Structure 1
Amino acid sequence: MTNKVIRYGILGCGMMGQEHIRNIQLLDNVEITVLAEPNAEMREKAQALVPNARTVEGLDALLEADDIDALVIATPNFQHAEQLQGIMSRCLLPILIEKPICTQLADVERLLEAAKAYPAPIWVAMEYRYMPPITLLLDLLAQGEVGERHLFSIREHRFPFLHKVDDWNRFNHKTGGTLVEKCCHFFDLMRLMANANPVRVYASGSQAVNHKDETYQGETPDILDNAYVMIEFDNGTRASLELCMFAEGSRYQEEISVVGDKGKAECLVPGPGRFWPTDTLGEPPVAQVISSPRNPKGPKQIDVPVDPALLEAGDHNGSTFYQHQKFQRAILGEQEVEVSLEDGLKAVVIGLAAQEAIRTHRVVTFNDGGLSFQ
């Protein structure tokens, strides 16, 4: 890798923006020069991480800077589409943008069209691809460990949504819904593992436990806290998601399974270490990958420890660092973008379709490779 120093501007310095900052700082040959954040408390916390960076309140001031080589967007979901379109119309910088890339179906074609002429890399931050146990699982699948793949399942049993600035993550109209905000990660993984696009989806879910006694400016949260989603893909494979957001007592947060004609491969991923009660339960669990061939029978279990420094830098099992390593190489022209704008949009569309299936109690059918539905 070249020794060129890449200067980053950060748009959005809340919880996830600060995780990006901590992980960028673990890279070589980088500098964070500008922090853009309208909330004074979040701006102060980010400034404490990067004392030498300038702080500004918004996108306009950020884009006026002449000491930025790349942008990281970590603002609330409902702002992403408009901000990304504005950036693409005003500059030529490489962009890493947090998921979900938009929250409404109407934004999908607009973003695709706007990005056609954009010459710099746009990388959608699908951190789950880069969790070490999931990376190992994907490698095993590529090596033919399970043979021809047929069934995919993801179970996430986790903690409720955390508090965010102005509580924007409590409402469907600002998040796109739980199956967009939280689960586009999983729909991206399903497409990746199946190497296919969705044909139809059915889902069932509700707000059973969380946030029901909360009010914000007279509004009660309407965000789902549990769901089942079933997806059929255009190559005949099937996938399921089981989500529960009031199961923070679980040993593992994510359990991912792939079954093929030669066997099964799965991985178990713990949640953020800061939520694990070490005083009563000791050290947090270590991620595992398990391969279970049909013949000869005999599961093979692999522990996948993660560098403690990476665990300390964020809540995503080290993945944010590995994602930024690759984004840095893409900026330097040393590799292609691995999670494209279209990848990010397809994951959103699946999430929106699942939300629609729950709302209407019907099967939702996709058109155009998963970029629209009817």
Structure 2
Amino acid sequence: MNSTGNQAVRYGIIGCGMMGQEHLRNIALLAQTSVTRIFEPDPHMTELSLSLASGAQPASSLEDVVTSEDVDCLLIASPNFRHAEQLNAIAKLRPLPLLLEKPACTSLSEVQNLIQLGKRYPQPIWVAMEYRYMPPVASLSAEVHNQLHTGPVKMISIREHRFPFLTKVGDWNRFNRYTGGTLVEKCCHFFDLMRHLTRSEPIRIYASASVAHNHLDEHYPEGTPDILDHAYVVVDFQSGQRAMLELCMFAEGSRYQEEISVVGPTGKVECFVPGPGRFWPEHLGAAPVPKVIISPRNPKGPRELEVPVDPVALAAGDHNGSTFYQHQKFNAVVRGQGMVEVSLRDGLAAVLMGLAAQESAQTGMSIDLTQGKYAWSQLDGL
């Protein structure tokens, strides 16, 4: 790849709605880094984006961004169902280092397409799994991987109790055909965390889920929204480890949005992550501080550690500073001074797990991930 060394890194942005604008606020915090081109079809979102990126120019097409000489790397933050087609267009026009928002794609056919693209794409592709970089989750991950307080991990439990899907341009996030389904769109983060924490591959997945409450009173030309709003998902791993996800998207009254518990034979480590600070009720005072709790079996006695997030990074988005820390690391890759930590293979593995979980929820059957259309082994070689 072309290294920019210590020179300025110039981003081109493809898709700049709500999440793209969070990226803009975080990129602005990085030294020697700027956004030079933005392609966003919605005029209002374009206006908001340009107000956040001093010096950026609006582009009339994806091609205008990709072929501009003042662009060193790309961010795709468009709706989910555009990711695969846009990645293919970039590969043909001018492959550049790329940060691809999750999920990498939304269907099995796109997974197959991106497997082949990934094998020939000559530049780094980093899939944006922000949850890995939330400080309390990163702290928990370090505890899990050093095994100091847990020993070899046996069980992982992830609970997310949060607000419903927000309104986005064109309401594309209301339908499975555009999102890949809730267990792809939202939960790919958690399937990625499971693989990251276990350092193993999934062999079986079972999901129980439905639409119980959210968006049922909304009506669009395409009908009533069909995205799931609550679920349990159980995953067995090749290593013998087990993981469970509990999702509820009508539980934003919770003090913490994510709670992760990891247990081994010698102890337990947990982390507690609050939701976006802008949603915390003012009358309750300051928003909760993330924390990690270490609970050894012997000697007994939980130890609670606060894991505060840098206030500037915290204010720049809804993901506990993780978008900033992710861009720091991606920036190093673009400069030739770092390695990709969340690969296209990781991104596609999370999509496969999400699609399999969607099918399991629909059929009531567990899905084998060692063979057939959802087999993770098809990603070998990426």
TM-score (norm 1): 0.97
Corresponding residue for residue 178 of structure 1: 182
Structure 2: 5+ residue runs without aligned partners?
Answer: none
Classify 1:194/1:218 alpha carbon distance in 2 versus 1 (closer, same or farther; 3 Å).
closer
Contact 2:13 2:77 in 1 (8 A): yes
Matched, 1:347 2:350: yes
Contact 2:67 2:93 in 1 (8 A): no
Matched, 1:319 2:330: no
Mapped partners of 1:249, 1:6: distance in 2: 40
Q: Please, which moves more after superposition, 363-372 or 210-219?
A: 363-372
Corresponding residue for residue 42 of structure 2: 39
Contact 1:13 1:36 in 2 (8 A): yes
Corresponding residue for residue 356 of structure 1: 359
Corresponding residue for residue 168 of structure 2: 164
Contact 2:75 2:100 in 1 (8 A): yes
Residue among 189, 192, 198 paired with 2:196: 192
Matched, 1:65 2:76: no
**Identity, % of aligned positions:** 58
Corresponding residue for residue 154 of structure 2: 150
Post-superposition Cα deviations, 1:170-200, rounded to whole Å, max 9, x if no partner, equal 0000000000000000000001111111111
Contact 1:108 1:371 in 2 (8 A): no
How many corresponding residue pairs?
372
Corresponding residue for residue 293 of structure 2: 290
CA shift, 1:371, in A, is: 5.4
Contact 2:204 2:370 in 1 (8 A): no
What code does the residue aligned with 2:216 have?
Answer: K
- Secondary structure of 1:246 counterpart: coil
Corresponding residue for residue 118 of structure 1: 121
Mapped partners of 2:54, 2:315: distance in 1: 20
- Secondary structure of 1:208 counterpart: coil
Residue among 10, 14, 23 paired with 2:26: 23
Corresponding residue for residue 140 of structure 2: 137
Corresponding residue for residue 54 of structure 1: 57
Question: Segments of 4+ in structure 1 off by > 6 A?
Answer: none
Matched, 1:370 2:373: no
Mapped partners of 2:115, 2:38: distance in 1: 27
What code does the residue aligned with 1:221 have?
Answer: P
Contact 1:273 1:315 in 2 (8 A): yes
Contact 1:349 1:372 in 2 (8 A): no
Matched, 1:255 2:266: no
CA shift, 1:64, in A, is: 2.8
Mapped partners of 2:230, 2:377: distance in 1: 25
Mapped partners of 1:195, 1:218: distance in 2: 41
What code does the residue aligned with 2:105 have?
Answer: C
Mapped partners of 1:213, 1:349: distance in 2: 31
TM-score (norm 2): 0.95
Classify 1:371/1:98 alpha carbon distance in 2 versus 1 (closer, same or farther; 3 Å).
farther
Corresponding residue for residue 308 of structure 2: 305
What code does the residue aligned with 1:209 have?
Answer: H
Corresponding residue for residue 3 of structure 1: 6
